[in-house]
Amino acid sequence: MIDGAPDERGNRAIAAIGYSHPVGRNTTLLLGFLREEERRRGRESNLIEVGARHRVAEGFILSAGVGFGIGDDSPDARIILGIQRSFRLF
């Protein structure tokens, strides 16, 4: 295990709350609030995020979102892109 810098937290916490709403057979809109303790002690970020998930084919979902920071310690913006593939093992 690698020790962190003296000004880094030993443990961090992340909390999120969200809401999703289907807007069609294959598309869902998302809204969320995220609070995260940063690595450096005394810094927390708060983000409001909006996004969408869209099923493009059976078992494949594309997602995208953008978040905007609230407060001095928060990032100005964040972009999230994702691809999900579902499959069965058995």
Confidence band (pLDDT; 50, 70, 90) for 1?
very low
Q: How far apart are CA 85 and CA 24, in angstroms?
A: 20
- Which token pair is 56? 């493009």
Separation in Å, CA 16 to CA 2, 43, 44, 58, 88: 28, 17, 13, 29, 29
Q: Is the pTM of this model over 0.75?
A: no
Q: How far is CA 14 from the centre of its chain?
A: 10
Which residues make Cβ contacts (< 8 Å) with residue 82, sequence separation at least 6? 61, 62, 63, 64
Higher pLDDT, 84 or 36: 84
Q: What is the mean pLDDT of residues 43-50?
A: 90
Task: Give residue-wise pLDDT tens across range 17-43.
Answer: 999 999 999 999 999 999 988 777 667
